[in-house]
Amino acid sequence: MAIPSAPPGPSSTDAADLLARVQAHGAVPRHVAIIMDGNGRWARERHMPRPFGHRAGMAAVRDVVEGCLDSGVQWLSLFAFSQENWQRPVSEVSALMGLLEEYIQREADALERQGVRVRVLGDLSRLNARAAAAVDRVVQQTSNGTRLGLNLFISYGGRAELVRAAREIAADVQAGRLAPEAVSEDTIRDRLFTAFCPDPDLLIRTSGEQRLSNFLLWQVAYAELYIASVLWPDFGRAALYEAILDFQRRDRRFGRVAP
């Protein structure tokens, strides 16, 4: 099945205009996290099977990566497959795993050329051998990228990530390497999959749903939330810039009062 052409949405002139406004406005979020939702509904609206929507979603990923590179976002975290998604029909799970392989095969060279460093985060022990090999390949191939860190969350759950951290801390305490009173926020932070990058400044969810769905529960404590009504395959760089413009109007106080 061929990747559908770019979905109808704001034209490239709109995107260029929005980018100019983003740049005129000032600081862009350092780290953007996205819950990519609505692929299934997008396919259903077209009387097509759900994997058709996921395939269109893959094209949207490419456009949003370009949008991050052009606007200067340094980290992009994408929720591509949750732990709960393993419970979807086998046919959909295998379609998603196939798309992961295909995405890596198609994009790895361009990502490397563009200075994107890919990391794949989650319980990767559940991936099949082909998907695991593809993941290893792209992580290795892009490891020198410095312009954009692209974190793909696969087989990921926020609560499971916290359980994993708690177990590591408990083991360190039990072994006498760590005193209980020395456990701090940093102790937990350092044991999360995301220990190498700053917390998201902006969390976007598409398709109008207003839930975190177990994504980055610890890390989004002070993220600004942005709910886009469009379904993920219709989200592209212009929609990203609209979200950033909205972010730039927010007053971030981190629990303090304005000076």
Residues 77 and 56: their CA atoms lie apart, in Å, by: 19
Q: What is the CA radius of gyration of the chain?
A: 19
85 classed as catalytic: yes
The encoded tokens of residue 192 equal 């999360």
**Integer Cα distance of 225 and 247 in angstroms:** 9
165 binds ligand FPP (CB under 6 A): no
Contact residue for ligand FPP among 15, 22, 36, 120 (CB under 6 A): 36
- Of 22, 39, 69, 228, which one interacts with ligand FPP (CB under 6 A)? 39
100 contributes a contact to ligand FPP by CB under 6 A = yes
Instruction: Report 48-67 residues binding ligand FPP (CB under 6 A).
Output: 54, 57-58, 61
- Give me the least distance between CB of 214 and ligand FPP, in Å please: 12
85 counts as binding ligand FPP under rule CB under 6 A: yes
Can residue 37 be called a binding residue for ligand FPP (CB under 6 A)?
A: yes
Q: How far apart, in whole angstroms, are the C-alpha atoms of residue 167 and residue 61?
A: 34
C-beta closer to ligand FPP: residue 159 or 211: 211
80 is a site residue for ligand FPP (CB under 6 A): yes
Q: d(Cα 68, Cα 12) in Å, to the nearest integer?
A: 15
Q: Where are the beta strands (DSSP E) in 9-125?
A: 31-35, 75-82, 116-121
Beta-bridge partners for 35: 79, 205
Binding mask 231-250 for ligand FPP (x = CB under 6 A): -x------------------
Report DSSP letters for 123-141, one per residue.
-GGGS-HHHHHHHHHHHHH
Q: By CB under 6 A, is residue 41 in contact with ligand FPP?
A: yes
C-alpha distances (whole Å) from 76 to each of 35, 119, 253, 255 are 11, 10, 23, 25
Nearer to ligand FPP, 58 or 239 (CB): 58
Contact between 103 and ligand FPP by CB under 6 A: the answer reads yes
Closest CA to 220 of 238, 241, 204: 204
Q: Which position among 17, 85, 123, 246 bears the catalytic label? A: 85
38 scored as a contact of ligand FPP (CB under 6 A): yes
Report the site for ligand FPP in 169-208 (rule: CB under 6 A).
Answer: none
Stretch that binds ligand FPP, among 34-42, 164-172, 187-195, 236-244 (CB under 6 A): 34-42
Q: Is 151 a catalytic residue?
A: no
Phi-psi region of 47 (alpha: psi -120 to 50; beta: other; left: phi over 0): left
Q: Which residues bind ligand FPP (CB under 6 A)?
A: 36-41, 54, 57-58, 61, 78, 80, 85, 96, 99-100, 103, 152, 232
| Catalytic residue list | 37, 85
